[in-house]
Amino acid sequence: MDDIIDNLFLLQTVLEAAGYQVDTADNGRTALVKVEASPPDLILMDVMMPEMNGYETVEKIRQNKNIPFIPILMVTAHEDANRIQGLAVGANDFIRKPIEIDEILDRVASFLRFGKQAISS
């Protein structure tokens, strides 16, 4: 989820080229509705979004007992973004933009692998 359409498109293109199915949202409220309706295997969440920022959205996801555990990777370009706050509300990791393509693909693969192991345990 990202509020800048170009960032959404770039990330979506990279992930789809790697074989992942991607759904996007350009604000926190839309992201929350989509996650509640059809929980994904992984969430990439921008910190700065309109209507509901990434911290608030992650917190709402974690508070909703009807949503299964989903790994959440917070992504931001803002220097003032707070890693500790992100982890405190329930994010699993934090990465700063500009994103290195190989790094994001490695992290996505790692989180998805972890999620499948947790489900099969």
Domain 5-116 has CATH 3.40.50.2300: yes
Instruction: Give the H/E segment covering residue 113.
Output: helix 101-120
Read off the DSSP letter of residue 71.
Answer: -
Model confidence over 73-88: pLDDT tens digits? 998 776 666 777 888 8
Q: What is the tens place of the pLDDT at every residue in 52-67?
A: 999 999 999 999 999 9
Is it the case that residue 4 has pLDDT exceeding 90? no
Question: HSE of 11 in the Cβ direction (CA atoms, 13 Å)?
Answer: 25
DSSP, residue by residue, 34-50 = HHHHS--S-EEEES--S
Give pLDDT tens digits for 82-119.
777 888 899 998 888 778 889 999 999 999 987 654 44
Q: Could you tell me which residues come within 8 angstroms of residue 19 by beta carbon, excluding any fewer than 6 positions away?
A: none
Whether the Cβ atoms of residue 77 and residue 97 lie closer than 8 Å to each other: yes
Domain map of the chain by residue range? 5-116
